Structure 1
Amino acid sequence: MENQSEIVIVGGGLAGLTAAIHLSKHGFSVTVIEKNEFPKHKVCGEYISNEVLPYCHYLALDLEGLNVAKINQLEFSIANGIFITSNLPLGGFGVSRYTLDYYLYQKAIALGCKFFQEEVQEIIFSNNNFTVFTTNEQQFKSKIVLGAFGKRSTMDVTLKRDFIKKKSPWLAIKAHYNCDFPDNLVGLHNFDGGYCGVSKVENNQVNICYLAQYKSFKRYKNIEDFQMQVLMKNPKLKTIFEKSNLLFEKPLTISQISFEAKKIVENHILMIGDSAGLIHPLCGNGMAMAMHSAKIASELSIALLQEKISRTDFEKHYQEKWNETFKSRIRLGKLLSKVLLRPTLSNIIMKIMVLFPFSFPLLIKKTHGKTF
């Protein structure tokens, strides 16, 4: 069966859904192909910087109606428990991907976007048009394809993307808990071999999500042992876990998370969100970056469809704008990650920030963008 639309978005995560809403709002025919059902929990820090709010207002998104947790403070600790707190320069909010993605999905449908629960098998570009093939033998033809298939996908393998050829040492674990934790605080706590984010989401639940090196994790029988023997050596995390009750049947995990550089455009497909590149979660800005990349890609897609720019300029401008907006943040995130994984160095950095507390908000600003 063949389907025709102006834009096909492969992947219905945060970036894909945001782009679907933006493009549908402007009257274009949009098809989203997503292999999973909505709603669905995802491994994610579930904190969004307020830099997205003007764009959300432009898209007529009522995120406050989701009972989000409003966050304006950050507490950061290194593995030995030494910590520092700071006001967040812009502030942000906590909301689960289960709630947010489902809300965006419903919003996109209301704007006329079409959704197909399929898995994409192949994408062919020929004669300035795309044909997208799914495992259920459906075909989708379009002028533009946006790749929003997340951190790691079978499509990355199909497209023979460079980063997918390398093994990654990282895995992430996330769950929701009942816990006495401040509504306005996001905690970022270092432990041996990784770091953990803690913050409220809607319905007074607390999201705990951490990134760990696999070589450290594999020494333990299960997640509970790892948390007990490694994470809880940080006194801050020990206190949090001891007073927390797990709300999931079991924590969610995702492995082979790659922070390697990715091509922003592959086979004429514009990559958005995590498909384009990941910032280390310790920077707390991945969700905002996903939405911002969707905005950039959507605006250029409109220009191409209105024949204001050529395909060549469409791809060139996207790469330039993406690098200008995100590249320095991603580079800083990698540097901070390396620092945190070296106890002696992280101790020195922490002592400097304690002596010069104004340096901490400045560092936070460097990993975040301006309102857009």
Structure 2
Amino acid sequence: MKKNPDVVIIGGGLAGLTCGIHLSKMGQQVILIEKNEFPKHKVCGEYVSNEIKPYLDWLDLKIQDLNPATITQLEFSIPNKKTIHCNLPLGGFGLSRYTLDYHLYKKAIENGCEIIHDTVEDINFEDDLFTITTSELKKITTRITIGAFGKRSNFDQKLQRKFILKKAPWLAVKSHYKGKFPNNLVGLYNFEGGYCGVSKVENNIINICYLVNFESFKKHKNIDDFQANIIYKNPHLKEFFSNSTPLFDKPLTISQISFEEKTTIENHIIMVGDSAGLIQPLCGNGMAMAIHSAKIASELIVDFYTKKTISRKELEKKYIQSWDYNFKKRLKTGRFLASLLQNKKKSAVIMWLLIQFPFLLPQIIKRTHGKSIILN
């Protein structure tokens, strides 16, 4: 690997690793900086929409070798036990981040990416070049830097991004279980102050991940107390927790989750995945969006290096336009739906409407998902 790579990627989650695989496949020299070792569990719904399946095939990722769960159905309920079902328009698959991220990591290395386990301390942009300094005092210069920091990062604070300056009200809790749950189903279960997703991943493991308003959560002593007093009011969730065995010593948690709008370019850094925008988990599309955003950024970066007529200004403009075109409406819809589910009366009205007009639910799903990616 040459000392001055074409691209430096900061963050080794779904979006960062996908960028690394794509760019190295196209002959770009890539360094990816990630502070954590692989494999590693992450707080995530672990459902991936099939809209990005053609792109994963193009990257030669062979996802089927990981034995993902095939998911085709959605079940939605509120605490009064009313439940509706529908087919997922495109369907998807369940795969843990532990398995998927490690698979991407190995593919990135196979493709020739250099992966450095370190923490970025500073990024300076001057004279059309980035100088990146790590905690181990490595200095790397490059023309293109990709920000794949995730939901929130210390580096967001250093960049003084607007969303990080606001207090974020959300807490997420995730764990794996052994128990009974349909192989092809993703369940979305509303409770007071939040909602919970349940679905299978590889090896017949059940992933459960819920999002709750922290003000509601902190009224209780701990996670067990919260689940017993609030989550169990939804009978589907009570039945699941009562008859399942946890596989983690304790659940994973992440706080200060923000769904505020984010900038997609910050100090000329190209933001991808959750660093560019975080969709409400109830939409079940965050993983696919992260991977899709990596595709958009990578294609434009390849054009920047191979088609000398594309300037940095044009690259950034096209990325912002493409991000907005593909994701802005989805994010807006997700925020709107989440606000409705937070209100007990409104969520009851929504359920009544969906029961009376069952064709509405697939239409709502389509508004938070994209069409199957068409490769050029």
TM-score normalised over the length of structure 1: 0.99
Range that drifts further, 314-323 or 75-84: 75-84
| 1:247-292 residue CA offsets vs partner (Å, 9 max, x unmatched) | 0010000000000111110000010000001000000000000000
| 1:119-139 residue CA offsets vs partner (Å, 9 max, x unmatched) | 001111111111111111111
Letter of the structure 1 residue corresponding to residue 325 of structure 2: E
Over aligned residue pairs, what C-alpha RMSD do you find?
0.8
> 1:81 and 1:343 mapped to 2: Cα distance?
13
Residue in 2 aligned with 1:362?
A: 363
> 1:179 and 1:272 mapped to 2: Cα distance?
35
> 1:371 and 1:111 mapped to 2: Cα distance?
25
> 2:224 and 2:235 mapped to 1: Cα distance?
17
Say if 1:79 and 1:343, in contact at 8 Å, map to a contact too. no
Moved over 2 A (4+): none
| 1:83-141 residue CA offsets vs partner (Å, 9 max, x unmatched) | 10000000000000000000000000000000000000111111111111111111111
> 1:360 and 1:308 mapped to 2: Cα distance?
45
Residue in 2 aligned with 1:77?
A: 77
Residue in 2 aligned with 1:50?
A: 50
Residue in 2 aligned with 1:197?
A: 197
> 2:309 and 2:201 mapped to 1: Cα distance?
42
SS in 1 for 2:313: helix
> 1:228 and 1:265 mapped to 2: Cα distance?
43
> 2:80 and 2:284 mapped to 1: Cα distance?
21
Any residues of structure 2 matched to 1:120-269 within 5 Å, and which?
Answer: 120-269=120-269
> 1:205 and 1:68 mapped to 2: Cα distance?
10
Letter of the structure 1 residue corresponding to residue 229 of structure 2: Q
Residue in 1 aligned with 2:276?
A: 276
SS in 1 for 2:349: helix
Letter of the structure 2 residue corresponding to residue 335 of structure 1: F
Residue in 1 aligned with 2:338?
A: 337
> 1:81 and 1:143 mapped to 2: Cα distance?
55
Letter of the structure 2 residue corresponding to residue 371 of structure 1: S
Residue in 1 aligned with 2:37?
A: 37
> 1:273 and 1:80 mapped to 2: Cα distance?
35
Say if 1:3 and 1:139, in contact at 8 Å, map to a contact too. no
SS in 1 for 2:336: helix
Residue in 2 aligned with 1:13?
A: 13
Letter of the structure 2 residue corresponding to residue 347 of structure 1: A
| 1:117-169 residue CA offsets vs partner (Å, 9 max, x unmatched) | 00001111111111111111111111100000000001101111011001101
> 2:4 and 2:240 mapped to 1: Cα distance?
51
| 1:171-191 residue CA offsets vs partner (Å, 9 max, x unmatched) | 100000001111000000010
Residue in 2 aligned with 1:310?
A: 311
TM-score normalised over the length of structure 2: 0.98
| 1:165-217 residue CA offsets vs partner (Å, 9 max, x unmatched) | 01101010000000111100000001000010000000110000000000011
> 1:140 and 1:153 mapped to 2: Cα distance?
20
> 2:237 and 2:139 mapped to 1: Cα distance?
49
Say if 1:194 and 1:212, in contact at 8 Å, map to a contact too. yes
Say if 1:47 and 1:94, in contact at 8 Å, map to a contact too. yes
> 1:371 and 1:126 mapped to 2: Cα distance?
39
SS in 2 for 1:39: coil
Say if 1:15 and 1:293, in contact at 8 Å, map to a contact too. yes
Unpaired runs of 5+ residues, structure 2, are none
Question: What count of residue pairs does the alignment treat as equivalent?
Answer: 371
Say if 1:265 and 1:271, in contact at 8 Å, map to a contact too. yes
> 1:107 and 1:83 mapped to 2: Cα distance?
41
> 1:126 and 1:47 mapped to 2: Cα distance?
40
Residue 305 (structure 1) shift: 1.3
Matched, 1:285 2:282: no
Residue 308 (structure 1) shift: 3.6
Identical aligned residues as a percent: 58
Residue 65 (structure 1) shift: 0.5
> 1:308 and 1:211 mapped to 2: Cα distance?
45
Matched, 1:296 2:296: yes
> 1:179 and 1:317 mapped to 2: Cα distance?
47
Residue 81 (structure 1) shift: 2.1
Residue in 2 aligned with 1:97?
A: 97
> 2:130 and 2:81 mapped to 1: Cα distance?
53
Any residues of structure 2 matched to 1:56-67 within 5 Å, and which?
Answer: 56-67=56-67
